[in-house]
Amino acid sequence: MSTDAQETVVLVHGLGRSRLSLRTLARRLREAGFATVNVPYAPTFHRFETLVEDFHDYLVKEVKTERYHLVGHSLGSILIRARFAHGYPTELGRIVMLAPPNHPPRLARKLHSFPPFRLWAG
């Protein structure tokens, strides 16, 4: 994280992805003068409620600037939405959601009970 950055952008990847999927965006944001943190999480191994709690704890621990913004891709957007369902802190600036699944995808609904899909997707 840049020590002279005044604001942080928190990046939250989607299902089937990792923090690496947002690496280029993180680099470009740093070049633009933002600090960045890239949230690690593995939906395969944890309940959604646990992911939301862990996301909150990660924000508290890793965001070092007074103001921060959130960028979520797919499931990352849903984590952000769930975390702030009851209001927003004053230090939170903008939220950008990239391809948020506002309704469960048809394929996910069909594969929901299929054991290999559940193992992969959690």
Could you state, in order of their start, the residue ranges of all structural domains in the chain? 7-121
CATH architecture of structural domain 7-121: 3-Layer(aba) Sandwich (3.40)
Tell me the per-residue pLDDT of 48-86, one tens digit each, with 9 for 90 and over.
899 999 999 999 999 999 999 999 999 999 999 999 998
Query: CA 23, CA 4: separation in Å to the nearest integer?
Result: 20
Section 20-26 average pLDDT: 94
Question: Residue 43: which pLDDT band, with cuts at 50, 70 and 90?
Answer: confident
Q: What pLDDT sits at residue 1?
A: 45
Phi and psi at residue 79, to the nearest 5°: -60, -45
